[in-house]
Every structure is written in C-alpha cells, then in structure tokens.
Amino acid sequence: MSDGFLVIGSNSFSGAHFVRHLIEQGHEVLGVSRSEEPDDVFLPYKWLPDWKEHFGFEQIDLNHDLDRLMDLVHSHRPSHVVNFAAQGMVAQSWDIPEHWYQTNVVAQVRLHDRLRKLDFLEKYVHVSTPEVYGSTDGPVVENFEFAPSTPYAVSRAACDLHLLTFYDAYRFPVVFTRAANVYGPGQQLYRIIPRAMLFAKTGRKLQLHGGGHSIRSFIHIEDVAEATRRIAIDGTPGSAYHVSTTSTLSIRDLVDQICQMTGVPFDDLVEVTPDRLGKDEVYLLDTTSLRDDLGWSDSINLRRGLAETLRWLEENLSLLQQLPYDYQHRQ
C-alpha cells in the first residue's frame, strides 16, 4: 500500500463518500473510525460491487488507540493520510466543550506528532471547516483571519494553527480543506437536508432555528470528494483550499425547495424556534485557488443534487424511519 490512502473518519458522511471516490479512481484504501461501521445505507462505498477488493476497515479511536493506529500506519505505509475525524455539531459543543477540545485538538496533536516523523508520508490532508472564520461579509479567501464563535469552531481553529506551526517547523506536508455545507445521498439524518426530506415524508415537524435566515452555500458530496482527491495529490503543502459553489441561499429557501419537491406546504412542515447560540449568519468561500491551481470545478447543481438525495431517501424510507434521526453524542 505504498501508494495507498489511509482515511481517518471513514464512517463519516464525507469520509465514506471519499472512500468510494478513491475506489472508483483505482486506489487502495484503508479506513479507520472510532465507531463500528453503520448501516450500509450510510456507507456509499458498500454500494460498489467490488468494494471489498480495495478497502479494509479497522475500528480505532484516536482518543484511546493511537499506538494501535500507528502500528497500522507502519505496517501499511500509506503515502497519503486524509483525516475527516472530528467531533462535529456546532450547537452541541456548548454543552460539554471539553469533549470537543479533547477530540479536535489534544488527540489530533498527538497524532500529528507521530505522523511528522514518517519518511514515507507524502501528503497529510486535514479536513477543516469554514466555521473557523466566524460570520463574514463577502467572499472569504484562504488566509482570512480566524474569528471562531463556538467551542466547536475554536477547537477546529486551534488544530489548524497547530498544524501550521508543524509545517513551519518540520515541513510537515499538511494541506487543509474547508468545504461549504456538504450534502448528498447517505447523509446522516440529523443534517438539515435529509432531515427535512424525512420529516416531510413522515409528517413530523421540522424545527427551523431563527426561521432559517442564515445564508449558506450547499455543495454535493461528489464534487467535494473529487476536490479532496485533487488536493491530496497535487495540493501545495502549507496551503488551504476552499471547496464551494459560487451560489448561496438561505436555509428557509432551501427548506422551501424541499417542500415543493415533496408536495408538503412549508407551514405544515416547519416550526420556527429561537436561533442557536453563536450561529454564524453568512459565509461564502472564495474557491479561486482550487479552481485555478488544481483545475477543479463543481458539476452538480442544487436541483439535481436534491433530487438524487430525495431518491435515496425514498428508496430507503422504510429503513430510515426506524433509525435515530437526532444527533447522538459520544466521547
């Protein structure tokens, strides 16, 4: 596996789709996550007929099993490590912030201090978040000043800054990705798009925080996976790359589109609730570096992407109705 990929956080939505994309591109992939593999409906690489020939999985928790992970790294010697692992969920990070700092900073620093000593690692991709910028006006370039507004965002910004010191001091071959709001088939049900679709199909009320006034860009996971592959192979160490479309819309308008697609009146689906603490109003990512330097472009518009996601949900509705649709925190 000297030219293979290690994907940390391969059970995550973005991680699982990236594994699928790598397999489709002919790469050998090893995946690790702290949880067991979820139902196949959330693992798009298992939708491929030959996935077992190109992918292996190990359940490893970065908070507790770093030695075991490094044994795996030394035995497989991957040329590229792509790290999707992080404690997510912005709103919940206010409840037990130390869990977010432990997983997103302390455990990551320990990992990076081991990885920097490897002589076979060509590139380390750290999947970060635009939450590090806080709420902004106008397009955000990659060197925009950090202004995180939640414990989650602070934890991600701290890890990014730590990695930049490792690049400066050791020339650790890190590149960063920061993607807009990602969506597509196989996404966890607590995310806004599959949740709105599921609730519209099952007659539940969707809580829309603050009435859905926040402005976001939504990008299909297949476009993100290809961007991540290009960044892993051709990205410049020490650099960050934004992954986004060039269009934005409010969360309210997004939910309204889903209502039109499912034939459910907006007022029948939505219950407006108070806004969440520290929620960023708007950000639009400048993607010039990714487009000009690496030749990437997004190819799936929102209408097509929502239709694909709704089709996935409808095809698996009987199963999805039986699964938890709220975020379940674990440490």
Torsion (CA) 38, 28, 22, 316 in degrees, nearest 10? -30
Q: Which two tokens stand for residue 158?
A: 């701290």
SS3 category, 161: helix
Give yes or no for a contact between 325 and 189, defined as CB atoms under 8 angstroms apart.
Answer: yes
Place of tokens 């799936």: 300
Locate the domains of the chain by residue range.
Answer: 5-182+218-243
SS3 category, 216: strand
Residue 34, CB half-sphere, CA atoms under 13 Å: how many? Answer: 16
Place of tokens 């792509």: 82
Task: Write down the mean pLDDT value for the chain.
Answer: 94
pTM for this model (two decimals): 0.95
Q: Which two tokens stand for residue 270?
A: 């939505």
48-84 pLDDT tens trace: 999 999 999 999 999 999 999 999 999 999 999 999 9
Give the CATH number of domain 5-182+218-243; options: 3.40.1380.20, 3.40.50.720, 3.20.20.105, 3.30.70.600: 3.40.50.720
pLDDT at 1: 59
- How far, in Å, CA of 106 to CA of 125, rounded? 18
Which one-letter amino acid corresponds to residue 73? Answer: V
| Number of residues that this document lists for the chain | 331
- Of residues 47 and 215, more confidence is placed in 47
- How large a percentage of the chain has pLDDT more than 90? 86
SS3 category, 41: helix
- How far, in Å, CA of 58 to CA of 110, rounded? 19
Instruction: State the pLDDT confidence band at 91, using cuts at 50, 70 and 90.
Output: confident
